Structure 1
């Protein structure tokens, strides 16, 4: 297996999104966002399952076909069937991708589509958008905590921010594991993510703490269960109310430091955000400013304040 490198964040990606001419028609689906906006911050690992099993470009298009209860992958005529070959390739390829921190897929593809892939009834051109690509399904099965998104869905600012929040958190966790797990490190990790977890899912945040406090179970078991719940919590989209609650908790750490005017300014910024009058960046900018003036080590270490590089401009969704 590939040894994870803490300072390199690698994303799997459908090769056609990088402009590689691997599609059935000999073309590509180059993503401007991935190539122009994301490329400076990530190292892409391109994969095309169809080329991976030896199909050329151009080539006859393949599709998912439901024959009774059996799902096949074949061309429209049904005389080319790559079901077993494709499944074997995907299982073997995905098993080598344990170093990834996320994956960006091409939509609608019978191999890479994350959802709503057309599944045809055998012998007809009648289909329903109920399928999932073979590679996408294998990724979910082998690496269920891996952040996965379709490129088109990343144009939704909320989905985009949530995806990359999970990517950086996933990377952070594996960096921690490489450094050597201990109960103290797990507790510190949880403490750093307190307010980010509260913004995403307060219920699961409250479940995570007691998990770490259970010393009756082996450390590796505790860590595995914690990570599953941790990524599940971040999978919930942060809400305006939960963000407001997290901001107000952080505000409490400044009650002895700020003067009356500063307290009022921060309170108003938080309320304006809650009421949809100002973006999340306004109270966050104030908090980061006050942190410079009135240092608080506990708040300064909170991932919530900077869950991903500002240059990615991901917090404009809130």
Structure 2
């Protein structure tokens, strides 16, 4: 069920704080004095998040409207944000510093929706120009976006263009809610048991994105009580967020679905088991969306409660109202 359903009060109270380009939030702050109409998926995501709008170009004191800027450099890793007309005004350091100011002002951010193709906010494939002003490649990030990642490598980032892709959107939103949960965990006293419990809740979601990471993280936590806990937590969360950044596939989701169905083998009839297996196969072949077998699993587990499965983030990594698993 796609559409644009209203979030209920409980969901609204739990919305993770997420930054967004102010132009995507209806503010007329672009260089030409215009706003940018968000795509349908981005508009729906704004309802699931506690949105915090920022415009780095306005944030560093540039007017609206203003002369445009673009990225100039002979190498994708070393670009400058210069005015298009003369290349005499350099905004690079100011834009990078504004990223630091945003994260100082809103340290609770759990994600950020950037602006496609922007020399300040572009997530990737932003145009790079030569000194003569000619475009030479589309292979870099906006200055502000790059600085956000450098300051907080764990912060989930995507742009409004890439979020039209259902798989990338699923990964981004899953990471946002997981990062929110991680931050809540870190507000409490960390212990080996708390770290293991966190991963226990997310292990099947990780498996859906990366079987290799699922095994790696399990091995990493096997000696949680025998090493420096802060160092382990840092290593763990970087590997965990990297795993959720990988695109889940029909095959990887099917693998998880079959694993979860194994917990029902003593609770449901042979006919119900065969129907569940058939639904998972239909999903694996691309005939039905992910929401169909997941809904069936949730139905069976509601009738046959399993405390371990009940805590699994995989069955509901984000609010159902977003309807995203209808498109996976």
Tell me whether the two structures share a fold, i.e. TM-score over 0.5. yes
1:239-254 counterparts in 2 under 5 A? 239-254=249-264
Q: 1:99 — aligned with what?
A: 108
Q: CA deviation at 1:291?
A: 1.1
Q: CA deviation at 1:245?
A: 1.3
Give the Cα–Cα distance (whole angstroms) in 2 for the partners of residues 35 and 70 of structure 1.
30
Q: CA deviation at 1:186?
A: 1.1
Q: 1:120 — aligned with what?
A: 129
Residue 192 (structure 1) aligned to one of 174, 198, 201: 201
Q: CA deviation at 1:227?
A: 0.4
RMSD: 1.9
Residue 205 (structure 1) aligned to one of 190, 214, 224: 214
The alignment partner of 2:47 has SS state of: coil
Give the Cα–Cα distance (whole angstroms) in 1 for the partners of residues 298 and 98 of structure 2.
48
Q: CA deviation at 1:70?
A: 5.9
Q: 2:82 — aligned with what?
A: 74
Structure 2, unaligned runs of 5 or more: 1-12
Give the Cα–Cα distance (whole angstroms) in 2 for the partners of residues 208 and 183 of structure 1.
14
Q: 1:3 — aligned with what?
A: none
Q: CA deviation at 1:179?
A: 2.7
1:1-318 counterparts in 2 under 5 A? 7-33=14-40, 36-66=43-73, 71-76=79-84, 77-214=86-223, 215-318=225-328
Count the aligned residue pairs: 313
Indicate if the aligned counterparts of 1:65 and 1:71 stay in contact, CA closer than 8 A.
yes
Q: CA deviation at 1:71?
A: 3.0
Q: 2:6 — aligned with what?
A: none
Give the Cα–Cα distance (whole angstroms) in 2 for the partners of residues 201 and 67 of structure 1.
36
86 and 256 in structure 1: CA distance in 2 versus 1, 3 angstrom threshold: closer
Give the Cα–Cα distance (whole angstroms) in 1 for the partners of residues 286 and 78 of structure 2.
50
Indicate if the aligned counterparts of 1:95 and 1:142 stay in contact, CA closer than 8 A.
no
The alignment partner of 2:149 has SS state of: helix
Indicate if the aligned counterparts of 2:128 and 2:136 stay in contact, CA closer than 8 A.
yes
259 and 35 in structure 1: CA distance in 2 versus 1, 3 angstrom threshold: closer
Q: CA deviation at 1:187?
A: 1.1
282 and 80 in structure 1: CA distance in 2 versus 1, 3 angstrom threshold: same
The alignment partner of 1:188 has SS state of: helix
The alignment partner of 2:66 has SS state of: coil
Q: CA deviation at 1:23?
A: 1.0
- The Cα offsets for residues 72-99 of structure 1, whole Å up to 9 and x where unpaired, read as 2221212323233333333333444431
